[in-house]
């Protein structure tokens, strides 16, 4: 029998450039905040799952599972590092959820962290490039901006999507980030700002792209019995789904869609017995503006090819029927790759608890969508106020 699982505590550092803090410091801060928010002690925790992508290349530190347990003073608990490129945090959350749902544990911490700004941009790009196909993409110089530029060009060709519509994705994110004190770039921008920003990989410009970010986030998950005993406002994980697609773009069924997103999104809604109209807050993986457009299409919140138009018309603005990336998304809140999937869960939890401050929306159910690479790994979760 599958058990119900709740989030009972959240913690997150400010996202940004933390020259004065190490990876260990970020892990300690987010983990301590989550445990304190849950009102528990270390003796209640039974296991840890931590997502990080490139600590070895970026910080010279492998063996991250052991580092997390040691840093948080949680030895000798089992602590497992999860790597799924930019979906590392989301998969860590899923693994923690499955271990409680399956009856193995009652309380588990799921977290994610990445320290990305201690190296030159070129070194960070090389590390991130490990999430692409090394033989068929990276070897030929295809960076992630270049790969997503290919997606953008094809989407523009097939559906008439415009650069201004892509710019609107960034505008929405920055508007929301301006209301989030933990965001890396908490200020609004305009479509004109995006259009005038420096070209990175045409048609993508600087303000179409998520930044390099330092940060960490953590959540405490608990079984139903423990959650109801310890937490007055648990947020229930209604479903979890994960899917895979080909690593290189050239083997995909479509370049304008991520089949793993389509499948994981469909499974997540079906398992939770929810409809699209039930979801009021949605965190999507917008590493680039075109990724936000493709995400809302793949997840079924618009028809294929109509995502750009929907952003342009304000369909996903804060306070709309489906508020997108209330945190500021990857674009403006920041994208410490291993932490992003957990940050998304933190944001939806705060929204459902009514603790999101100036960016608060009215929501009973939420969804998170976390992507690894250009879509080879996708994990989707749904959440609700009630069990």
Active site residues: 86, 335
Tokens of 328: 């500021």
Other C-beta atoms closer than 10 Å to the C-beta of 277 total 10
DSSP output for 70-102:
HHTT-TTS-EEEE-BTBTHHHHHHHHHHHHHHT
How many other C-beta atoms are found inside a 10 Å radius of the C-beta of residue 306?
Answer: 17
Tokens of 382: 């749904």
How many Å apart are CA 234 and CA 5, to the nearest integer?
9
Q: Using alpha carbons, select from 158, 143, 323 the residue that is nearest to residue 249.
A: 143
CA distance 126 to 58: 10
Coil, strand or helix at 382: strand
Q: How far apart are CA 9 and CA 20, in angstroms?
A: 26
Nearest-CA neighbor of 122 among 143, 149, 151, 150? 143
Q: Which two tokens stand for residue 150?
A: 């290919």
- Residue 255 C-alpha from the chain's centroid: 22
Distance, CA of 236 to CA of 251 (rounded, Å): 37
- Residue in 335, 340, 341 with CA at minimum distance from that of residue 381: 341
- Answer yes or no: are the C-beta atoms of 380 and 368 closer than 8 Å: yes
- Write the secondary structure of 166-221 as one string of H (helix), E (strand) and C (coil): HHHHHHHHHHHHCCCCCCCCCCCCCHHHHHHCCEEECCEEHHHECCCCEEEEEEEE
**Which is nearest to 181 in space by CA: 339, 350, 333?**
333
Instruction: Identify the helix (H) or strand (E) that includes residue 308.
Output: helix 307-312
């Amino acid at each position: 029998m599958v058990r119900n699982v709740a989030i009972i505590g959240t913690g997150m550092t400010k996202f940004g450039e933390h020259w004065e803090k190490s990876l260990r410091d970020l892990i300690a801060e987010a983990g301590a905040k989550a445990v304190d928010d849950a009102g528990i002690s270390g003796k209640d925790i039974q296991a840890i799952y931590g997502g990080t992508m490139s600590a070895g290349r970026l910080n010279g530190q492998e063996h991250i599972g052991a580092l997390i347990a040691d840093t948080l003073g949680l030895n000798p608990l089992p602590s497992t590092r999860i790597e799924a490129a930019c979906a590392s945090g989301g998969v860590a959350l899923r693994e923690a959820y499955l271990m409680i749902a399956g009856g193995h544990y009652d309380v588990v911490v799921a977290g994610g962290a990445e320290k990305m700004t201690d190296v030159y941009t070129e070194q960070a790009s090389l590390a991130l490039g490990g999430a692409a196909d090394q033989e068929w993409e990276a070897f030929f110089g295809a960076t992630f901006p270049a790969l997503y530029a290919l997606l953008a060009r094809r989407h523009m060709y097939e559906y008439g999507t415009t650069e201004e519509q892509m710019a609107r994705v960034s505008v929405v994110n920055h508007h929301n980030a301006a209301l989030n004190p933990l965001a890396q770039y908490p200020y609004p921008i305009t479509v004109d700002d995006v259009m005038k920003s420096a070209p990175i990989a045409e048609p993508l410009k600087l303000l179409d792209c998520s930044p390099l970010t330092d940060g960490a986030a953590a959540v405490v998950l608990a079984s139903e019995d423990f959650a109801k005993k310890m937490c007055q406002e648990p947020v229930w994980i209604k479903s979890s789904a994960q899917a895979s697609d080909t690593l290189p773009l050239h083997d995909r069924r479509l370049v304008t869609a991520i089949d793993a997103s389509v499948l994981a999104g469909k499974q997540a809604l079906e398992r939770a017995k929810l409809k699209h109209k039930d979801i009021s807050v949605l965190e999507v993986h917008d590493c680039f503006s075109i990724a936000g457009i493709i995400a809302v299409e793949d997840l079924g919140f618009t028809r294929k090819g109509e995502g750009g138009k929907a952003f342009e018309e304000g369909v996903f603005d804060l306070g709309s029927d489906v508020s997108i990336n209330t945190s500021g998304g990857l674009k403006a809140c920041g994208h410490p790759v291993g932490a992003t999937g957990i940050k998304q869960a933190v944001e939806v939890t705060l929204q459902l608890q009514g603790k999101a401050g100036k960016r608060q929306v009215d929501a009973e159910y939420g969804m998170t969508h976390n992507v690894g690479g250009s879509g080879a790994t996708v994990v989707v979760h749904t959440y609700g106020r009630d069990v």
